[in-house]
Copies of this chain bind each other. A is one copy, B any other.
Amino acid sequence: MTVPRQAVLEVLSADDRYRSAEEIFFQLHEQYPAVGLTSVYRTLTLLAQMGLVERFDMGDGKARFRLRTGAEEGSSCRLICTNCMKVEPCDQEAVEDQAASGSMDDVTRSLETEYGFQLRRRVVEYYGLCVDCRRRNEEKRSQEEN
């Protein structure tokens, strides 16, 4: 546990907003002026690999980071403002429970009342291994058994 790593964790722990590497760097800089942007990137990459940090790439070229909470359990949900690029984590259960069906209209209404958010587009992404890569993995595993 080194200074830059502790510093990054400190900033991330402050709240659960998504922040860019640069934003994190600037917040660090006040208390830890010696820590460089390079180390911020390195630490974030490291923490993401360890699964402690969630990395999110919006369409605007800069990645955002957030401390991953145990509550997520392999599933995450967020509100993304296409105007100001703000990203806010949200509780999927709350949204879906509120929405009678999974229909776009019901979800729209739910987000409206729960968060004041005006929904334009819903995106569902499933991350994992495609058929091919899974097959390849299994082959590799059975080879290693020999």
Contacts and interface: CB of A to CB of B under 8 A. Distances in A.
A133 interface: yes
B120 A122 contact: no
A133 B76 CA distance: 23
A36 B43 CA distance: 39
A30 interface: no
Contacts of A46: none
B129 A76 contact: no
A124 B126 contact: no
Given A76-B124, A81-B133, A116-B134, 9 more contacts: A57-B58, A57-B59, A74-B104, A78-B123, A84-B132, A92-B124, A116-B131, A117-B129, A118-B134
Nearest to A80: B127
List of 3 A-B pairs having minimum Cβ-Cβ separation, nearest first: A81-B130, A116-B131, A83-B133
A121 interface: yes
Nearest to A135: B116
B125 A122 contact: yes
Contacts of A82: 127-129
B126 A122 contact: yes
Contact of A129 (B74, B107, B118): B118
A145 B133 CA distance: 57
